[in-house]
Structure 1
Amino acid sequence: MPDGIEVGAGHRTRAMTTALAVTGGVSAVLAWLEFVLIRQQLVVGSWVIAAAVVAIALVRVSSAGKPAAVGTALGGVAVVTQVAWLVTGVHALWVTALTGAIVLVFFLLGAAWAGSSAASTRRAATAIPAGVAAAIAVVVSAAVIGTAASPAPLVRSLQAVGQSNSFEPDAQTSTTSVDGARLTNDVEYGSTLPNSFLDIYIADDDPSVSRPTYVTIHGGGWIVGDKTDGAPSADSGGASWAGPMLDAGYNVVSVNYAFAPSYRFPTQTIQLGQAMQFLEVNADGYGLDMNRVVLAGTSAGGHIVGNYATVQTNSDYARALGIEPTMDRSALKAIVFESAALDVGRAGAPQSPSPSNGFFFDIAARSYLDTTDTALLAQANVIDNVTADFPPSFISDGNTGTFPDQAAELSAGLDRVGVANRLNLYSKNEARLDHSFMSVDSEWTDEYSRLKIEFLRDVV
């Protein structure tokens, strides 16, 4: 068995061939990690650059002529675009850097395969597993580059097998009793946008009693989710958000909305306005008091209610966004923020980093609006657009893989303009609480509900 193989004008040893293969494999993993861990770009990107530099050195030593020139050029592109991305943060450069790094990977792996032992028995034994590995790498890499360029295909594929945009209700509208409350399900509140349906819960099955109305908007990253998430029923998968509010003397309305990327910001704000107008017009028929309204939103829903409240209370902002207010400010008594993504530009950077949450939130944010547009991000930032007319707010979040920093910033901003608010956060010394912890049955969820109801009792 020969110790090396002639490749062009160079002599490639087995060690060099192995080095090319290993560097290619490591570079592939790093490129994929950079895609998943985009918010850790400096660390991972630096390793991608280091791997590309090593690749250039290996190519120049192991090859000659055109192969050496091509490998050096690919490595140079990977390094230059990666540095440019880390310095500028321009999204197109990130996509180019990922593409350059992945093309370099396949060049290295191809060079390693070409330089492997020429013995036919060895080649035959490794051809099939190498081919399978290469096919998997091609599929994963294509998915990485494609999703980096646009998350829309990935998101739509997820919606195709789950919740999606539809002009048809999930079930025929009917009125039933659920845990002692009157439920009217799948009421259509609009016809121009998909998912324009809501559920109405009347406490004690008695619409004759005047109670404040608690309108809640579900989470799901603006791309999934449903108004029945956490609904008060025997088969509910989590803590019931409606149960404590019904027990506290509120009627509850849960609203669905159109999903991104087919419908992007501020469509959901406009759609919530349609729901509020429908409820106002039909309040008597359902036994709702629309003069005392609390808006609550979880995660992505928190951004929607926050943005809607900003439109109702900041006339300059409403004009800039091109949306007319749809309810009397005096009727909007309070806002409840549950793990709200208030600054969409930082959605992919949750505190106490969670790679899975960060990846999902980043994909969701890019689906919801163009996160490369700084002017649009500033316009969508709830924290920076509140005024002294913003409603009193109860603001709560967990402490792991979520947005307690944004919750604290909103509270501080409301303090500065003199708006009553309560910030409800917990240290990790007390408990590890994930994003939307209030959707999971626990003593902390019970305490959250108690504190929220106490706050609302003073302002509604």
Structure 2
Amino acid sequence: MTRTPLPPSRPGGARGLATRVVLGALRASLLVSPRPAVLLVRRQFAAGVVDRTARLDALAPADVTAVLDEPYGPHPDEVLDVFHPAGAAGALPTVVWTHGGAFVGGTKDELRGWFRLLASHGFTVVAPRYTRAPEARYPTPVRQVLAALAHVQEHADRFHVEPSRLVLAGDSAGAQISAQVATLVTVPSYARDLGVEPTVDAAQVRGTVLCCGVFDLAQISRTSPLRDVLRACGWAYSGNRHFEDDERFLSTMSVGRHVTAAFPSTFVTVGNADPLRVQSQTLATTLERHGVDVETLFFPADHEPALPHEYQFEADTADGVAALDRIVRFVRRCTA
């Protein structure tokens, strides 16, 4: 998310009235189906990243080789991108980045410029597409990321992937998916409970990079500006209108309830103006309590400029540059 995916209301005027009518209609639609709200979220995501995508593409270095839309499975959505420095010789530490979008929106394509930036620092970057809700339900994206991991290991030489030096990464919903994959890889009983077969061993996953994630839907405040959006997305992803009462869904999705000391070294960041910032802070605290090696990039509440959701992709700003630098240093450290 780059912004709250609902238009801001205004106290008066025709536009303010129209906004209230739209919001009222969306809330009413949640009594019947999540699809109207999901479609609006997707449109808002697509519109909100046009400028950012263009700026990232303009910043992307030319000396990075890309393999785009490589199939990793039979479904049309099961394709991935691979980026590595041009002329790379041999295997490189590999970052597998799962994009965000509240489980219903977003694409890997809009981040290709940023992936090139990351790869230019001496990594292979793999970016899988997954099937978004409501076209697919939980935990389909988890299984698809695992299938992508199997594919890149099978073609490791061609992609310059080092299977023994993997970092699972993601933003927003993608951070949750990546954290969930890391959890099921390191906690066999959790994988069995979820009914998912890992395609990598715990020793292969050297770290996780988790940016602006949503890690526990049960902890979303009822006063959050994202409340209605996340209700729609949770319904679409779970297939259950009353997912907030579905303890199995909430529990298995909430990785903080299942992590152990075996969880990989982790870097966590979130902006000070992100409505989901408590989610990242809570997960970092939970991991530290288990003795996990954790690095954080958090900001004081009065930090200026205020940093919104997904601030780290603003790669032409001082804070975006700082985030990329910290991510690069973390990946180098944990894959050394």
TM range (shorter): 0.7 to 0.9
Contact kept in structure 2, 1:151 and 1:363, CA below 8 Å = yes
Correspondences of 1:47-86 after superposition (within 5 Å): none
User: What is the TM-score normalised by the length of structure 1?
Assistant: 0.60
Change in 2 beyond 3 A, CA 1:393/1:406: same
Contact kept in structure 2, 1:358 and 1:401, CA below 8 Å = no
Correspondences of 1:189-200 after superposition (within 5 Å): 189-191=72-74, 193-200=75-82
Deviation at 1:160, TM superposition (A): 9.1
Which of 308, 329, 333 aligns to 1:454? It is 329
**1:434 to 2:308 alignment:** yes
Correspondences of 1:193-342 after superposition (within 5 Å): 193-203=75-85, 205-232=86-113, 240-243=114-117, 245-342=118-215
Alignment-derived partner of residue 29 in structure 1: none
Alignment-derived partner of residue 38 in structure 2: 155
Alignment-derived partner of residue 360 in structure 1: 229
2: CA distance, partners of 1:247 / 1:137? 46
Which of 377, 383, 389 aligns to 2:250? It is 377
2: CA distance, partners of 1:406 / 1:150? 27
Q: Letter of the aligned partner of 1:413 in structure 2?
A: T
Runs of 4+ in structure 1 off by over 3 angstroms are: 136-144, 156-163, 346-350
Could you report, residue by residue, the CA deviation over 1:254-298 in whole angstroms, capped at 9, with x for unpaired residues?
111001012111111011110000111111122222221111110
1: CA distance, partners of 2:116 / 2:43? 29
Change in 2 beyond 3 A, CA 1:284/1:398: same
Q: Letter of the aligned partner of 2:333 in structure 1?
A: D
2: CA distance, partners of 1:142 / 1:316? 43
2: CA distance, partners of 1:180 / 1:291? 25
Change in 2 beyond 3 A, CA 1:226/1:415: same
Gaps of 5+ in 2: 1-5, 7-18, 47-59
Could you report, residue by residue, the CA deviation over 1:142-189 in whole angstroms, capped at 9, with x for unpaired residues?
6532323431344257669998xxxxxxxxxxxxx9611111111111
Change in 2 beyond 3 A, CA 1:197/1:429: same
Contact kept in structure 2, 1:340 and 1:403, CA below 8 Å = yes
CA RMSD of aligned residues (A): 2.7
Alignment-derived partner of residue 345 in structure 1: 218
1: CA distance, partners of 2:83 / 2:121? 13
2: CA distance, partners of 1:334 / 1:154? 35
| Corresponding pairs, count | 299
Q: Secondary structure at the match of 2:81?
A: strand
Q: Letter of the aligned partner of 1:393 in structure 2?
A: T
Deviation at 1:384, TM superposition (A): 1.3
Correspondences of 1:179-190 after superposition (within 5 Å): 179-190=62-73
Q: Letter of the aligned partner of 1:363 in structure 2?
A: A
User: What is the TM-score normalised by the length of structure 2?
Assistant: 0.81
Could you report, residue by residue, the CA deviation over 1:50-81 in whole angstroms, capped at 9, with x for unpaired residues?
xxxxxxxxxxxxxxxxxxxxxxxxxxxxxxxx
Could you report, residue by residue, the CA deviation over 1:122-151 in whole angstroms, capped at 9, with x for unpaired residues?
xxxxxxxxxxxxxx9999866532323431
Deviation at 1:420, TM superposition (A): 0.3
2: CA distance, partners of 1:363 / 1:139? 15
Structure with bigger gyration radius: 1
Deviation at 1:194, TM superposition (A): 4.2
Contact kept in structure 2, 1:318 and 1:325, CA below 8 Å = yes
Contact kept in structure 1, 2:91 and 2:156, CA below 8 Å = no
Contact kept in structure 2, 1:199 and 1:255, CA below 8 Å = yes
1: CA distance, partners of 2:312 / 2:77? 25
Q: Percent of counterpart pairs with the same letter? A: 27
